[in-house]
Structure 1
Amino acid sequence: MSDPFIGEIQIYGFNFAPYNWAMCQGQLMPIQQNTALFSLLGTTFGGNGTSNYQLPNYVGNAACGQGAGPGLTPRIMGETFGSDSVTLLLNQIPAHTHQARVYNQPTAGLRSGVPAAGDAMILPESATLFTANNTVNSTFPPQTLGLTGGSQAHANQQPYLTLNFCICLSGVFPQRP
């Protein structure tokens, strides 16, 4: 492998940073001990800029290139965005239907007036499921079919494979073109 550039970020499949590299976990670094890297990063990823600066933090994050592509939101170095979970509003859920599936339980001892999780509904004794006309002969409780989601957030993460991002602390200083 050729000599790495200071500030170069590589992905490794092992659980430690190689010699002269550091894990990209958002740790604070003292400027006096890492002046070359500070001259390249500055406070792009955090730090106070007088005594310390911060390395990029890839813990639980995905990498994203800077700039903007056609139809994409512009991104700048050090920007974090996105969310681990999202709660959808009713107007964000695509229109769809749910069917109420009704099963007749012939064994009276297995019937329940209030279904438990995983139970199917039973046909009320006074109702006829299939009738010759469209008149309603029984009604289900309002809870039978209701709103979905219950205002609960759902996970919003990409599929992932755990690898370690590491940044070069000592190497060749990159020359500007």
Structure 2
Amino acid sequence: MDYYIGEIRAFAGNYAPQDWALCNGATLPISGNEALYSLLGVTYGGDGVTNFKLPDLQVKLPIGAGIISSQGGTGNYVLAASGGATAVTLTPTELPPHTHTLKGLNTPATSSSPANKMLAASNGNNSTVTPPYPDVNLYTTLPLPSGGPTTPNATLGANAIGNTGNSQAHQNMMPYLVVNFIIATNGVYPLPA
């Protein structure tokens, strides 16, 4: 045997070989598994009197235990801790700072169609419905008539644009290939270094 009790490996088969068990969170009796229990204890669950649990790596990726510091904060990753999500819904506070520029002109509007045109000052000459719903020209053709401004020059109100989106979660998984993780239940007992 050239493997340590408690060692975890990726395995392409659909079963656990002799002296190994699937890392599926199964409950094992302490009796008959004393060596493995002495290494795992109840770190991954169990009552510690008659049974203990194996690590559950079903639909999970293992990461090394330790403390990391990153731009997103500090993380303390201890044995048996789990986290993450298969789908995430972003909120506005999770988006990087950015702007959406909406430009307009003080030039009188000449069209009610936005196609290939720029927002312009309303001239109010097409009103067919009484306010507050006037049907007015809001756009001017591009290029602008000669003598008009050549760059946007209108300041829009603070509520001229708003949020969009429908808060649907997106998949949060890197490309993957499914294999089984197995843990050695028998083998060489690992002595501390």
TM-score by length of 2: 0.64
Secondary structure in 2 matching 1:74:
strand
Matched letter for residue 42 of structure 2: T
Of 89, 99, 121 in structure 1, the residue corresponding to residue 91 of structure 2 is 89
More helix by share: 1
Equivalent residues, number: 149
Task: Establish whether residue 149 from structure 1 lines up as the match of residue 165 from structure 2.
Answer: yes
Kindly state the Cα deviation for residue 17 of structure 1 after the two structures are TM-superposed.
Answer: 1.1
Q: List gaps (5 residues or longer) in structure 1.
A: 105-125, 136-141
Matched letter for residue 11 of structure 2: Y
In the alignment, the residues of structure 1 paired with residue 32 and residue 99 of structure 2 have an alpha-carbon distance, to the nearest angstrom, of: 60
In structure 2, the residue matched to 1:139 is none
Structure 1 residue runs of 4+, over 4 Å off?
126-129
Q: Pick the structure with greater CA Rg.
A: 2
1:111-142: CA deviation from partner (whole Å, max 9, x where unpaired) = xxxxxxxxxxxxxxx8765453679xxxxxx9
Secondary structure in 2 matching 1:32:
coil
In the alignment, the residues of structure 2 paired with residue 12 and residue 98 of structure 1 have an alpha-carbon distance, to the nearest angstrom, of: 52
Matched letter for residue 17 of structure 2: P
In the alignment, the residues of structure 1 paired with residue 171 and residue 10 of structure 2 have an alpha-carbon distance, to the nearest angstrom, of: 25
Q: List gaps (5 residues or longer) in structure 2.
A: 103-113, 117-136, 154-159
Kindly state the Cα deviation for residue 89 of structure 1 after the two structures are TM-superposed.
Answer: 1.3
Note the 1:107-118 alignment, pairs <5 A: none
RMSD: 3.0
In structure 2, the residue matched to 1:60 is 59
Matched letter for residue 76 of structure 1: V
Identity of aligned residues (%): 37
Matched letter for residue 80 of structure 1: S
Task: Establish whether residue 165 from structure 1 lines up as the match of residue 181 from structure 2.
Answer: yes
In the alignment, the residues of structure 1 paired with residue 101 and residue 5 of structure 2 have an alpha-carbon distance, to the nearest angstrom, of: 57
More strand by share: 2
Secondary structure in 1 matching 2:182:
strand
TM-score by length of 1: 0.69
In the alignment, the residues of structure 2 paired with residue 148 and residue 51 of structure 1 have an alpha-carbon distance, to the nearest angstrom, of: 55
1:6-57: CA deviation from partner (whole Å, max 9, x where unpaired) = 1111111222211110110111111113111111101111111112111111
